[in-house]
Chain A
Amino acid sequence: MSENHIVASFDNDMSKLESLFQEMGDIVLVQLKDATRALRKEDRDLAKKVVKGDKQLNELERDLNDLAIKILALRQPFAIDLRYVLTTLKSAGHLERMGDLTRNMAQRTRTIAKAEAETGPIETLIRMSKLVQGMTETILEAYKSRDGELAKKVRAQDEKVDMAHNSLFRELVTYMMEDASNISACMHVLFIAKNIERMGDNIADIAKEIIYMTTGDWPEGKRAKSDKTSKIIFS
């Protein structure tokens, strides 16, 4: 396909849309890294920075929405352009939600740090976060290079996040059963883990969008999901 539109300003709008999306993605990644580090170090200042940083993401998403609407209204894109605008618009919504989730992580971290509470084992949680960070990087790459195959790989990786979430759930419940005074902090960690797990889901949804963008077809079949925590009970 030719790169350029006959109307050059159309190209400008499209590349502006792409760079807004990339900027949002880069910020989400930094937010997740910072939120994770803040938890690990019980760093209240860093956590505060993450909470504040979410505002920027909301603003970028608003700009991106405005631009996407302008493109749809004024350019009436077809074919790959239409799919590209829609994919970016919907995926930006997922990035924004990921931002909300990191914000919530950071708020809980502040609470834990303030109470100097004992969180119990969080290595698994750090591992989950690393997995999701890697997925975020790869999905941004897949978007940039319009690589549906790469997006498929990312979509499959979400299962690992679910599995890590399952084992973390078990670990924390065991920890809480050992000593009831752990419960309060552990509950926060559990919610943080759930946040990260949902970030994985958001990335998997972006992957689906990118597969549609590159092929024009929605991926067939359900992706493997392994979040079993809704079925786990200890007695």
Chain B
Amino acid sequence: MIIETKTSQAIQSNTPTIMTANNVDVFYGKKQAICNVSLNIPENQITALIGPSGCGKSTFLRCFNRMNDTINICRVSGEIKFSGQNIYDPKVDVVALRSRIGMVFQKANPFPKSIFENVAYGPRIHGLAESKDELESIVIRSLKRAGLYDEVSDRLSEPGTSLSGGQQQRLCIARAIAVDPQVILMDEPCSALDPIATAIIEDLMETMKKKYTIVIVTHSMQQAARVSQQTAFFHLGELVESGDTQAIFTNPIQERTQNYISGRIG
């Protein structure tokens, strides 16, 4: 398999894989944005996707919950397996899929609704709560897991948009968590946050990975090095190298990786 020749150091082979991408190609119209990428996502670990702007990180991330379906000219081929099933199989219920594989975006995007409603929305449309009480406990549990509850417990009916940027991002994490996903995809979740808010989210990710699998796109190499266990380096739509984060950041195999992470002109 192709990834084997590119992997610098396989992530501990005893970690089970929750998602697998096999020979994935993505086109926007005629333009190819992702070329033949294969990558395993280890369960209950954090995988970081890094690479220069425009290399296809977001495009590849969006493949994992078929978010690319929403872009008209976008065409995905290849195979992405989640718990053994190809998620691009026409029989797959995309709405259900996205409740299993949630997403947090670069810009916190709370709905123009109360803090409570922002989190309650998902469980309600997916019918996860039988009663009002149950819904409330889901909301509180999710806010707690997102490390936000203590800061908002007395103002749950205030609009989500009244929170600070870092709090809004954690609200979006709570919203993603509320439908009890297995995988959470994050596209530059901290890029608009200050170092403290960033540290809070990184700390949160560390505790979240006990329960969830996280795939994060980040422009901060320090962040990738700090939070992830597996790192995948993309360049011009190709997966150049992937493997154990520590190995990638101390001793990458590929020259392109070396140049990128050490800030050299490639």
Given A78-B225, A79-B250 in contact, is the A1-B258 Cβ separation under 8 Å? yes
Give chain A's interface secondary structure class: loop
Given A2-B265, A5-B264 in contact, is the A79-B249 Cβ separation under 8 Å? yes
Q: How far is the CA of A4 from the CA of B265 in the complex (A)?
A: 7
**A-B pairs under 8 A by CB, number:** 48
Q: Is A145 an interface residue (CB 8 A)?
A: no
Given A76-B222, A78-B221, A78-B225 in contact, is the A6-B251 Cβ separation under 8 Å? no
Q: How far is the CA of A79 from the CA of B252 in the complex (A)?
A: 7
Given A6-B265, A79-B262 in contact, is the A1-B255 Cβ separation under 8 Å? yes
Do the beta carbons of A6 and B263 come within 8 Å of each other?
Answer: yes
Do the beta carbons of A1 and B250 come within 8 Å of each other?
Answer: no
Q: Closest CB of chain B to A217's CB: distance in Å? A: 8
Q: Give chain B interface residues in 245-262, CB to chain A under 8 Å.
A: 249-252, 255, 257-259, 261-262
Given A2-B264, A2-B266, A78-B225 in contact, is the A83-B251 Cβ separation under 8 Å? yes
Q: B97-116 interface mask toward A, CB cutoff 8 Å, 1 = contact, 0 = none?
A: 00000000000000000000
Do the beta carbons of B250 and A6 come within 8 Å of each other?
Answer: no
Do the beta carbons of A2 and B259 come within 8 Å of each other?
Answer: yes
Binding site for A on B (CB under 8 A): 221-222, 225, 249-252, 255, 257-259, 261-266
Counting chain A CB atoms within 10 Å of each CB, which of B221, B222, B263 scores highest? B263
Q: Closest CB of chain A to B39's CB: distance in Å? A: 21
Select A1's contact among B222, B249, B264, beta carbons within 8 Å: B264
Q: How far is the CA of A76 from the CA of B264 in the complex (A)?
A: 13
Do the beta carbons of A83 and B250 come within 8 Å of each other?
Answer: yes
Q: Which residues of B contact A5 (CB under 8 A)?
A: 262-265
Besides A4-B264, A78-B225, A82-B249, 8 other A-B contacts (C-beta < 8 A)? A2-B259, A2-B264, A5-B264, A79-B252, A79-B258, A79-B261, A80-B262, A217-B251
